Structure 1
Amino acid sequence: MRALANFPLFVESELDLSTPLSRATFINYLRQLLIRLGYRESDFCGHSFRIGAATSAAAAGVEDHIIQTLGR
């Protein structure tokens, strides 16, 4: 099945390809996975992705105002 270009990359359900994956659901899946891999829950949070993305963008030379816009 092919998704349309304006559909979200990650979705809540295979049955509904237009509903984006919520932050809460993503964090829940992430926690379950990392705990199974042996990480402590206190070692990570959802904000880690935001920090990592901003750091990577800055290292790649993306201008500050663009990073701020992308991070909302």
Structure 2
Amino acid sequence: MASCPGFPGCFSQGDTVEEFIENQKRAIQVCLESCLESFLKSFLKSCLKSPAEDELRECIGKCSLTSF
């Protein structure tokens, strides 16, 4: 078993080195997806606190992700 120092709590294991590497890639991907989801939720919450409708539309428009 090994961890990824850049992602606390991100652990993986495998029966072979190759399996471990693939599992670790997936674990890192899940950690990144979770971080992105948390960021977007926080970002949208801050947008929803804005009383101005135009500002809200602009803020939501910034959240449109086309690709990574």
Q: Which has the higher strand share?
A: 2
Q: Which has the higher helix share?
A: 2
TM-score (norm 2): 0.36
Return the structure number with greater relative CO, CA threshold 8 A, min gap 6. 2
Higher-Rg structure is 2
